[in-house]
Amino acid sequence: MIRAFHLEGRGLRDAGAEGAEGAVWLDLVESFQRKVRTIAGHAGFLRHQTALLLDATPGMIEIGRANIVTVFSVVAVIFLPPTLIASIYGMNFAHMPEIARRRGYPVAVVASVAAALVIFRRKGRFRWR
């Protein structure tokens, strides 16, 4: 039968075998060795790809989070002027000058919206999204 079985170094044919039955076994073993080497190489490739994906995933999650924070920041800045105007007039309801005027309150609302639109239009200068 098979006298020696070597996975590395010289091949099985050099190790020797007895008869036709031994040659068949040698062919089967060599075929098995080739398949094992192929599968081992592919497993190494898959291990490398998995490690690469595991390294890249936290970075992709962080990019998504940064985009969300950017959107929230832009929205907060856009709504800052109307909030400021509303809070100022909300504290001094008895002394609101536009209440005495016929169109004073709608003008204050339009001014709040206009301030928000100006900031929204100029966001490109601040290099936001």
104 in a structural domain = yes
70 in a structural domain = no
129 in a structural domain = yes
66 in a structural domain = no
Domain count for the chain, please give it. Answer: 2
Residues 6+ apart with CB under 8 A from 73: 128
What is the spatial distance between Cα 101 and Cα 99, in angstroms, rounded to a whole number?
Answer: 5
51 in a structural domain = yes
* Residue 78, pLDDT score: 81
Does 47 lie in the same domain as 88?
Answer: no
Does 84 lie in the same domain as 48?
Answer: no
* Residue 105, pLDDT score: 73
Does 85 lie in the same domain as 44?
Answer: no
Domain holding 1, by residue range, is: 1-58
CA-derived radius of gyration, the chain: 38
Low-confidence ranges of the chain (pLDDT < 50): 1-12, 14-15, 17
